[in-house]
Structure 1
Amino acid sequence: MARKFLYIVAGLVVLVLAMLLAYRIWGMQIMRAVMVPREAFQPLQPLPANAYDDPKMWIARPDQTKDNPALWTPQGAAKLAPPAQKAAVFFIHPTSYVTPLGNAHWNAPLDDAESNATARRFVLSQASAFSAAGNVWAPRYRQANYGAFLTTGAEGDQALAAAYRDVTQAFAAFLKANPTGPLILAGHSQGSRHLLQLVREQVAGKPVADRIAAIYAVGWPISVEADLPALGFPACARRDQSHCIVSWQSYAEPADPSAVVESFERKQGLNGQPRKGTHMLCTNPITGTFNGNAPASANIGTLDARAADKPAHLVAGIVPARCDTSGVLMIGEPVDMGPYTLPGNNYHVYDYSLFWGNVRDDARQRLAAFTKTH
């Protein structure tokens, strides 16, 4: 009986190892098979023109004084005095509509409870880093399904275009509510993709561009040569610089960013030129500089939210940052941040959490630099 039990255990171990090996080798193919919606794309009806006048269309906005996720701060975060002049922060949350096995639409319904709850958690863990610099506005929008990023079919681009139309409406309402003063624009992943298109089409070359203290397009690849020229803002070269763009994509070592590089190189840049052979923008979030290397000791706060029974808290000095020649940000050996590390040691989900304390400080410093000259 004991021997039979050992055989069963050994068999299970072999099965688990085989599954892990298959995931490492065919991880992206498996994800595509499971995550891409199988229904035909259905065009979305436009939202009412005044949709974003309704506070319910915002996950966070400054008049939400009760239970506002953007006002949350983790244990260990220093209490900071308000800046001399607050910014208005427009934050576009990342993809929270993840529905496997084809049981999904290409765009999230606004009343989808699960994706709404996840989006709220993203605002809490990401946008909260900007609340020490200003008032955060984070809209709900009919985001594209996660599967839209895994397909080369037209449906993926159609879903993203539909989501972007909601974002443009939200941005117009944001500007209407904040007609003067400095602005910080931020996003992550899908949110950063929409943000870059928004900057190119709604900000660059327009009067509102003069109000931009900083742009945080985190978790989305940006070509220095093929994207930045169309955006009208340079890459941030130092922490006391304002009116510039910050971006990084986090990987532990050994890293395999091939999926991101493949997607990056497949399409043209925002200036119409090929991205293939160009450099990805990498801002070191610890130093606030273009490229560069920083030891873990300089990281003033990684957000640890792993334990469901304990409050999230900041831990200093555990994650380094080094911009690699590939354009991605290396964080050294894998660190336990939770269960959502992607294939290739991709810490995409944790781009902000890894450096929450430094992002908070970065936004305040760039805002201070901006207000000195405006």
Structure 2
Amino acid sequence: MVRRFLYVVAALIVLGLAAAFAYRLWGVEMIRMAMVPGESFRAQSAIGPDAYRDDRMWLARPALKGNPALWTPAGYRARQQPGGAAVFFLHPTSYLNRAHWNAPLDDREANERAALFLRAQASAFNEAGEIWAPRYRQATFGAFLTDKAAAEQALRLAYGDVLAAFDAFLAEAGPTRPIILAGHSQGALHLTRLLKDRVAGTPLAKRVVAAYVVGWPVSLVTDIGRMGLPACTAPDQRGCVLSWQSFAEPADPTLIREVYDRSTGFDGRPRRGTPMLCTNPLTGTMGGAAPATANLGTLFPNKDLSGATITPGRVPARCDDRGLLLIGSPPDVGPYTLPGNNYHVYDYSLFWANVRADAARRMAAQVTGK
């Protein structure tokens, strides 16, 4: 397990190297040719909550043998006793194959990559509570590079699995336990929809400690009002949403902005020109800036990626007027940045210790009712 430690998601390791190289030479069209499936979308039967009674449907679950979400760097320990928050974590895209629009549940490569994601991302929450992270028929990476109808169909199929897993998670967590919702990239996209469909306007909203919608844009104008929780504006606020997208400077978010500006918000209005939610993970508040000294710890991998250490005080963060999280000069956390100085791969690991402290702080506020 240690040798295969995911400081950098293998999925995005490959993507970061290949995509950056291809982008510089041939641009977006070449990437689309390499990643977008050529087959037609294939409808598949829905999966119900009962299927998620099986441990094999989960990457992480309390008492699951070999649970990757229990990893911690030296100096930190996962929660030792049952209890705390029930954490529902949705991993990012780990299926890069263009053979299908959706990952087969038994795809070994995709599942191994997803488990690696959990070590670098979901592990930040393993002190605040116990983590559930489902396998789901995720849309392949190429679905995010095209406007084909099949791409949206693939995302709907994946979301159906997420809803089934969430219902099973709620049944296991019980009717009163505090809940943390978290995800990254594709997982964060599904999380925004889950908040809108299953949390907004329900008693469940009062149980949510926080929702970490990381690596996916959330419009402050068209989205947040329909997601059932406000944006976090204080470091100890409970029942709120955090979101950020990390870029070193100079930042070129052209690809993200183009997709964002073509999309429609949850209230039916265009997202074009609307500000994105930017939570500063160093302060736990919306907007603002914090120096590197406020960073409690960034994960830095060994040269051979056999492990990682955590080092404080290395990476600053500030939200710009576009809603991007800027981290200053490109930090040397690895070679897997995406075009435009996009540190998407490192959204959690840049601020791992701060995310951990943030979850604990908000959980304490939930318990005390403050």
Q: 2:329 aligns with which of 330, 333, 336?
A: 333
Shift of 1:181: 1.2
- Indicate conservation of the 8 Å contact 1:82/1:133, yes or no: no
Residues 82-111 of structure 1, C-alpha deviations (whole Å, 9 max, x = no match): 799610000000000012xx4x20000011
Question: Whose radius of gyration is greater, 1 or 2?
Answer: 1
Aligned AA (1:75) = A
> Where does residue 7 of structure 1 map in the other structure?
none
Residues 303-362 of structure 1, C-alpha deviations (whole Å, 9 max, x = no match): 112433642110111111011111110111112222321111111111001100000000
Normalising by structure 1, what TM-score? 0.90
Q: 2:90 aligns with which of 89, 92, 110?
A: 92
Residues 177-215 of structure 1, C-alpha deviations (whole Å, 9 max, x = no match): 012210000000000000010110011111211111100
- Indicate conservation of the 8 Å contact 1:69/1:121, yes or no: yes
Aligned AA (1:149) = F
Deviates more, 1:189-198 or 1:267-276: 267-276
Aligned AA (1:70) = A
Residues 249-301 of structure 1, C-alpha deviations (whole Å, 9 max, x = no match): 00111111011111111111011111112110000001111001011111111
- Whole-Å separation in 2 of the counterparts to 1:67 and 1:23: 37
> Where does residue 72 of structure 1 map in the other structure?
71
- Whole-Å separation in 2 of the counterparts to 1:312 and 1:75: 9
Which SS does the other structure have where 1:91 is aligned?
strand
- Indicate conservation of the 8 Å contact 2:22/2:31, yes or no: no
Q: 2:353 aligns with which of 337, 341, 357?
A: 357
Equivalent residues in 2 for 1:9-48 (5 A)? 23-24=23-24, 26-48=26-48
CA RMSD of aligned residues (A): 2.0
> Where does residue 169 of structure 2 map in the other structure?
174
Return closer, same or farther for 1:227/1:309 CA change in 2, 3 Å cut-off.
closer
Q: Which runs of 5+ in 2 are unaligned?
A: 1-18
Q: Which runs of 5+ in 1 are unaligned?
A: 1-18
- Whole-Å separation in 1 of the counterparts to 2:297 and 2:326: 17
> Where does residue 316 of structure 2 map in the other structure?
320
Shift of 1:32: 1.4
- Whole-Å separation in 1 of the counterparts to 2:113 and 2:62: 20
Return closer, same or farther for 1:273/1:83 CA change in 2, 3 Å cut-off.
farther
Q: 1:109 aligns with which of 91, 95, 104?
A: 104
- Whole-Å separation in 2 of the counterparts to 1:355 and 1:181: 27
- Indicate conservation of the 8 Å contact 1:217/1:247, yes or no: yes
- The answer to whether the aligner puts 1:60 opposite 2:75 as a matched pair is no
- The answer to whether the aligner puts 1:143 opposite 2:111 as a matched pair is no
> Where does residue 8 of structure 1 map in the other structure?
none
- Whole-Å separation in 2 of the counterparts to 1:128 and 1:161: 27
Q: Percent identity?
A: 56
Normalising by structure 2, what TM-score? 0.91
Return closer, same or farther for 1:133/1:93 CA change in 2, 3 Å cut-off.
same
- Indicate conservation of the 8 Å contact 2:211/2:239, yes or no: yes
> Where does residue 370 of structure 1 map in the other structure?
366
- Whole-Å separation in 1 of the counterparts to 2:269 and 2:178: 32
Deviates more, 1:305-314 or 1:181-190: 305-314
Higher RCO by CA contacts (8 Å cutoff, separation 6 or greater): 2
The 4+ residue runs of structure 1 with deviation greater than 2 A are: 19-30, 79-85, 305-311, 336-340
> Where does residue 284 of structure 1 map in the other structure?
280
Aligned residue pair count: 351
- The answer to whether the aligner puts 1:307 opposite 2:271 as a matched pair is no
> Where does residue 186 of structure 1 map in the other structure?
182
Aligned AA (2:278) = C
Which SS does the other structure have where 2:219 is aligned?
coil
- The answer to whether the aligner puts 1:218 opposite 2:217 as a matched pair is no
Deviates more, 1:79-88 or 1:308-317: 79-88
- Whole-Å separation in 1 of the counterparts to 2:309 and 2:22: 35
- Indicate conservation of the 8 Å contact 2:302/2:309, yes or no: no
Residues 228-263 of structure 1, C-alpha deviations (whole Å, 9 max, x = no match): 010121110111111000000001111110111111
